[in-house]
Amino acid sequence: MQLTVWTYEGPPHIGAMRVATAMTGVHYVLHAPQGDTYADLLFTMIERRDKRPPVTYTTFQARDLGTDTAELFQSALADAYERFKPQAMLVGSSCTAELIQDDPGGLADALRLPVPVIPLELPAYQKKENWGAAETFYRIVRTLASPRQGQERPKNERPLANLLGPTALGFRHRDDIVEITRLLDSMGIGVNVVAPLGASPADIQRIPDADFNLVLYPEHALSAAQWLERAFKQPYTKTVPIGVNATRAFIAEVAQIAGVSADVPERTRLPWYSRSVDSTYLTGKRVFIFGDATHALAAARVASKELGFQVVGLGTYSREFAREIRAAAAEYGVEPLITDDYLEVEAAVRDSNPELVLGTQMERHIAKRLGIPCAVISAPVHVQDFPARYSPQMGFEGANVLFDTWVHPLMMGLEEHLLRMFREDFEFQEAPSHLGAAPQAPKEAPAARELAVAAPAEVALADTPATPSALVWLADAEAELRKIPFFVRGKAKRNTERYAAEKGISNITVETLYDAKAHFSR
């Protein structure tokens, strides 16, 4: 085990909590010591949920280890059922409680509760959070959506799909569901069940009524979808609709499965924006990408194929999807990075020298330390990445969000670069502030002051050409000068005055301005 100040994923019981918290009518009894109750804050503080997760902790302490902790678990389970009256219950152990080797599933079975109790065996020291979420969802689906005996799937008036994979603490899962539901509706396809987000145990029982499944987040839903295909002959989609091209491919795949038209209006600005004059500045930008496999793979495709970026780094902390990341990295000609050590990621970012980083909350910190623009594309995230506004990542509107989110830090980086480049320019200093403060005169460089004091006055006069103060800018020349962008206006003015002084011109006209430009452009 490695001690760290940051982790991309928690232990697998955190993944189970994400599924339980996403659902309704489900309660999770977790055999855990008092210190493991920190996980509540992940949902109430970061996701800003208005209620606690549906989790009861046994919260045993050190003194309890000498007594019967099994009885403590059964008592907590019985109390939780009586208090919350859930439609189904999950039971399991945290990574710490796993060491005392109680059997939550067997202990729960002995109580004979009148609702389904689903035991979770999550190896805390071999697996992590996303695997725990996938295993929990798989167990719920397999328990509650059991194969029908001799019953056929009902004939639906229009094709029905299940949307599988969104959980609590998911990156923009809430808005992705809205966007994909709208997209399906425009194709004449209805949504049967969204799970686990917002689903009840009764909804899970209805999953077999759909014609097919949409796997939006393979990290959480792939194993359940594969079982549903075997048990109910329900096909599932393989395309994740992030980006314009992927959304088009997703529509074509769904249309083929459902037997409907793929003619859907594309309400997206990304293709035009990425070809526009303003975006030519983005072409060839070096980008480093790291996150969960779903979002990292999608980001690499969008960056490379739709925005013209150069992918210089690609990685994930999702070891279960390392094969897919390695294949994509080979396509982009980069070395794949499969790690959950943020220090390795920081070293890779530094070595690849990117101009933009797309990653998790941790990469935001790394990029800030290295002075590189960054946009968050994947969990784990912090509170600012659960916005109040509508901000999907999937579908055509999601493509618009991607463009704005990724281009904004680059444009801000350009703005800051220009401010640093021209902050000593006297024209920049003389420009009025939007705050209304009086402009300050530029400070004279210390070296220049010392040189002026040390040099005799007559020598300075002999070696210096006619000063700009002796020159007169005519009105038409000043008007033409103001048309030049502020960040190069100062240089243009200095060059013109230098040219005029060298040629012995005292009155600067428009012709003088353009003659100077031609002179210094040679």
Could you tell me the two tokens for 192?
A: 């049967």
Annotated binding site: 36, 413-414
Cβ-based neighbours of 465, under 8 Å, separated by 6 or more? 498, 501, 502
Here the tokens at position 478 are: 């000043």
Q: CA dihedral in degrees (254, 258, 264, 269; nearest 10)?
A: -20
DSSP assignment of 309-364: -EEEEEEES-GGGHHHHHHHHHHHT--EEE-S-HHHHHHHHHHH--SEEEE-HHHH
With residue 297 as reference, give the H or E element that holds it.
helix 293-301
Return the sign of the alpha-carbon dihedral for residues 281, 286, 289, 295.
Answer: positive
Where on the phi/psi map is residue 436: left (φ > 0), alpha (ψ -120 to 50), or beta? left
How far is residue 233's CA from residue 245's CA, in Å, rounded to a whole number?
28
Cβ burial 362-386 (10 Å sphere, 16+ → b, else e): bbbbbbeeeebbbbbbbbbbeeebb
278 is catalytic: yes
Residue 10's alpha-carbon distances to 28, 31, 170, 333, in angstroms, are 17, 16, 14, 31
Closest to 75 in 3D by CA, of 50, 34, 104: 104
Distance, CA of 195 to CA of 484 (rounded, Å): 58
Using an 8 Å Cβ cutoff, are 369 and 347 in contact? no
In this structure, the number of other CB atoms found within 10 A of the CB of residue 229 comes to 14
Bridge partners, 163 (sequence order): 194, 214
Annotated binding site for substrate: 413-414
Give the residue numbers of the binding site for [4Fe-4S] cluster.
36
Q: For residue 113, what are the contacts with CB-CB under 8 A and spacing of at least 6?
A: 77, 78, 81, 89
Quick one: tokens of 430? 């003389």
Catalytic residue among 109, 185, 278, 351: 278
- What's the DSSP call for residue 119? E
Give the residue numbers marked as catalytic: 278
